[in-house]
């Protein structure tokens, strides 16, 4: 069946612009996670959704980062006023039982 999909696969933006990253989880998976992979910080957790609510937002690095999930499915991660340190690969995962399935990621480059 279809896996986790993310769009766009690559995004180049200018410093100060807002960006939206999209994640389509595997159908029926109620838990969804966002992670960030960067050279300096490795792989780090950002936010967790159970259904449409986010009980754990502890990994969001600043208030410029926000995320939502609608219909218990698609999730959008929004970064406002992007900074160069936001450049990274943003990975989304959805979970079945205790196993997370990852999407291919969105590579964000902030110029």
Partner 1 sequence: AQSVTQPDIHITVSEGASLELRCNYSYGATPYLFWYVQSPGQGLQLLLKYFSGDTLVQGIKGFEAEFKRSQSSFNLRKPSVHWSDAAEYFCAVAPTGTASKLTFGTGTRLQVTL
Nearer to partner 1, 45 or 76 (CB): 45
**Site of tokens 């690095």:** 61
Q: Does the footprint of partner 1 cover residue 35 (CB under 8 A)? A: yes
Nearer to partner 1, 30 or 80 (CB): 30
CB atoms under 10 Å from CB of 51, counted, come to 13
Q: Which of 2, 27, 42, 71 binds partner 1 (CB under 8 A)?
A: 42
Burial class (CB in 10 A: 0-12, 13-18, 19+), 13: middle
Q: Which of 19, 24, 48, 88 binds partner 1 (CB under 8 A)?
A: 48
């Amino acid at each position: 069946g279809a896996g986790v999909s993310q769009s766009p696969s690559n995004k180049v933006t200018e410093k100060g612009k807002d960006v939206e990253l999209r994640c389509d989880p595997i159908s029926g998976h109620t838990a969804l996670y966002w992670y960030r992979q960067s050279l300096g910080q490795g792989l780090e957790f950002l936010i967790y959704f159970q259904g449409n609510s986010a009980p754990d937002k502890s990994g969001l690095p600043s208030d410029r980062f926000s995320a939502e999930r609608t219909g218990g499915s698609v999730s959008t991660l929004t970064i406002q006023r992007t900074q160069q340190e936001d450049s990274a690969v943003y990975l989304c995962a959805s979970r079945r039982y205790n196993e997370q399935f990852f999407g291919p990621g969105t590579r964000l480059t902030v110029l």
